[in-house]
Amino acid sequence: MPTTDVGSTVPRRQLGRELRKLRETARLTVEEAAEQLELSRVKMWRIEKGSTAMRSPSTSNKCAACTATPPTPKSPKP
């Protein structure tokens, strides 16, 4: 199985750690962030632990809820 598999837990865990840091920096509880994103507390916890995938719009919404701006996509190298 390739390490760049889309279903790999490594990228999900990395994203989850970053999202948790953003939430904590914004001084939001899991419950507050979940409410803002219209997610359950359990779903929020699973996303931050890397147990479940998060869709791109949800990622942008989570960043916005934590008052962070998502990075702009990098241009492909020629």
- Which pLDDT value is given to residue 3? 45
**Coil, strand, or helix at residue 36?**
helix
High-pLDDT (> 90) share of the chain, %: 23
- Residue 75 tokens, joined: 């241009």
| 29 closest CA partner among 64, 67, 69, 66 | 66
CA 60 vs. chain centroid, Å, equals 8
CATH number for the 9-65 domain, one of 1.10.260.40, 3.60.40.10, 2.30.110.10, 1.10.10.10?
A: 1.10.260.40
Note the pTM of the prediction, 2 decimals: 0.61
- Residue 77 tokens, joined: 């190298």
- Residue 23 tokens, joined: 């939430």
User: Which positions ≥6 away from 69 have C-beta within 8 Å?
Assistant: 63
Q: Each residue of 5-37: pLDDT tens digit? A: 456 788 889 988 988 998 899 899 999 988 888
Q: What is the mean pLDDT of the chain?
A: 76
* Better-predicted residue by pLDDT, 34 or 53: 34
Q: Is the pLDDT of residue 63 over 70?
A: no
